[in-house]
Amino acid sequence: MSMKKCDCLHPIDWRYGSKEMRKIFSRVNRLELLLKVEAAIAHAHAMVGNIPKKAAEEIEKKASAKYVKLKRVDEIEKEIYHDIASVIRAFAEQCGEYGRYIHLGATSNDIIDTAEALRTKGALMLIEHRIVKAIKNLIGIVTEHKETVCIGRTHGSQAVPYSFGHKIAIWLEELVRHLGNIRRLKEENVVGKLSGAVGTRAAYGVHADRIVQITMEKLSIKAAVITHQLVSREVVAEIFLELILLACSIDKFATEIRNLSRTEIGEVAEPFRSDKQVGSSTMSHKRDPERSERMSALARIMRGYTTPALENIITWHERDLANSASERYIYPEIFMTIDQMLVDFDFVISGLVVKTEQMKKNLDITKGLVMAEAVMTELVNNGMNRQEAHELLRKNSMIAVEKNAQLFGVLKKDKEIIEFISEKDLKEIFDSPGNYLGTAKEQIEIVLILAEKAIKE
């Protein structure tokens, strides 16, 4: 959608977020969900004998934006200044004599919170789908590169040999946990409510509890166990916080891609969207990790949602409006933002360029210093005191740095070392960094099993 066509103010209306998520949070869909909840309540009233079944059937038939126009709702709201009451009146106009049965026993937030639960469920299902897709792509990368040797880095400096597959397997396992959290929250925290003005359900009459049960079964969601006029916002906050944590994980992955894409490192690169993509308006040669940078930028916004999500938990007595305006902002923004991050992440990892030859070159940058721990470990295995071995390697490493020499060349001249490791075995350590990967492969296999299981559930 172009800016010209929608003349929008907020970037999530035209730049960020998918069409699918935008549809879920559209005004029309919100109206559809509000009408759906009202129709489900009418159905429940008919089931317990409170209203004629024909009335419930007509209400359900007209519970659509096809009949109840958003334009008409807006016209009424300009007159009465109440959004839900405007929906009710516009709905009643379409139901003729049966309009009087709409909203029977309900308060506004019965409709708002339950409709929001339906919208949240749909949004979480889309997020779940995107995570599953990302997991499948990561499984492919991990499987292909479980034995690809690269350099591990700590504090920004080269450390010891590493497995690129192990690096990505950590991302994979983290996403599997997020997937489990999303699925749990979708089942446990997406709840509707029909509680009335303060939570007693008094206006629903003697069949109140049965009406709640029938309504929620009709809508295919759980009912909150107990509420005042609002569903407890800590339930909602938990969903938001999980999405914020997911954003932080994606930011972590994106930051690693950005770092590995540096010219001086050059071990991975983002895919280009086409052969005509421009990296810079002035530097024609540029190919920047701009999708990963955008993920990091959007994660900063996501972390900012933590405060309003937590502040909304507090209410005055049985209800106030301090949460309302805040939620109108953060509901769509949180879901649209994390949706964009997942779309970008999927794009990057589905075509991630892995430069294995550059990884091999980077292993040799320090002239063997990264194998110091491996040599120390072998000395200890061969009987040397661990502290003595560490000191020997420290001293010789400093000599190699000062002389800009290969560590192997320095070590083979050290009699104390050659006494415990033959020159041939010492050279083998330096020639085969892939032999110093511990149980990385076994750890990867465990993660792959967990990931395969997760996407089949």
Per-residue confidence in pLDDT tens, the chain, 457 aa: 444 456 788 888 889 999 999 999 999 999 999 999 999 999 999 999 999 999 999 999 999 999 999 999 999 999 999 999 999 999 999 999 999 999 999 999 999 999 999 999 999 999 999 999 999 999 999 999 999 999 999 999 999 999 999 999 999 999 999 999 999 999 999 999 999 999 999 999 999 999 999 999 999 999 999 999 999 999 999 999 999 999 999 999 999 999 999 999 999 999 986 555 555 444 454 578 999 999 999 999 999 999 999 999 999 999 999 999 999 999 999 999 999 999 999 999 999 999 999 999 999 999 999 999 999 999 999 999 999 999 999 999 999 999 999 999 999 999 999 999 999 999 999 999 999 999 999 999 999 999 999 999 8
Same-domain pairing of 81 and 113: no
Residue 6 lies in a domain: no
Same-domain pairing of 92 and 72: yes
Same-domain pairing of 220 and 151: yes
Q: What local confidence, expressed as pLDDT, does residue 276 receive?
A: 58
Question: Catalytic: 155?
Answer: yes
Q: What local confidence, expressed as pLDDT, does residue 361 receive?
A: 97
Residue 241: Cβ within 10 Å count = 17
Query: Model's pTM, two decimal places?
Result: 0.93
Same-domain pairing of 90 and 133: no
Q: For the domain that residue 94 is a member of, what is the CATH number?
A: 1.10.275.10
Q: What local confidence, expressed as pLDDT, does residue 288 receive?
A: 84
List 26, 157, 220, 280, catalytic entry? 280
Q: What local confidence, expressed as pLDDT, does residue 12 receive?
A: 87
101, 134, 155 - which closes a domain: 101
Rounded Cα gap, residues 381 and 370, in angstroms: 19
Same-domain pairing of 335 and 385: no
Residue 309 lies in a domain: yes
Q: What local confidence, expressed as pLDDT, does residue 277 receive?
A: 56
Same-domain pairing of 348 and 410: no
Residue 455 lies in a domain: no
List 155, 274, 285, 317, catalytic entry? 155
Residue 232 lies in a domain: yes
Same-domain pairing of 412 and 390: yes
- Structurally, how many domains does the chain consist of? 3
Residue 211 lies in a domain: yes
Residue 263 lies in a domain: yes
Same-domain pairing of 76 and 185: no
Same-domain pairing of 215 and 233: yes
Handedness of CA 93, 95, 96, 98 (dihedral sign): negative
Q: Whole domain around residue 37: which residue ranges?
A: 25-101
Same-domain pairing of 123 and 164: yes
Q: For the domain that residue 246 is a member of, what is the CATH number?
A: 1.20.200.10
Same-domain pairing of 354 and 371: no
Residue 8 lies in a domain: no
Q: What local confidence, expressed as pLDDT, does residue 1 receive?
A: 41
Residue 431 lies in a domain: no
User: What are φ and ψ of residue 189, in 5° steps?
Assistant: -105, -10
Same-domain pairing of 122 and 262: yes
Question: Catalytic: 280?
Answer: yes
362, 394, 412 - which closes a domain: 362
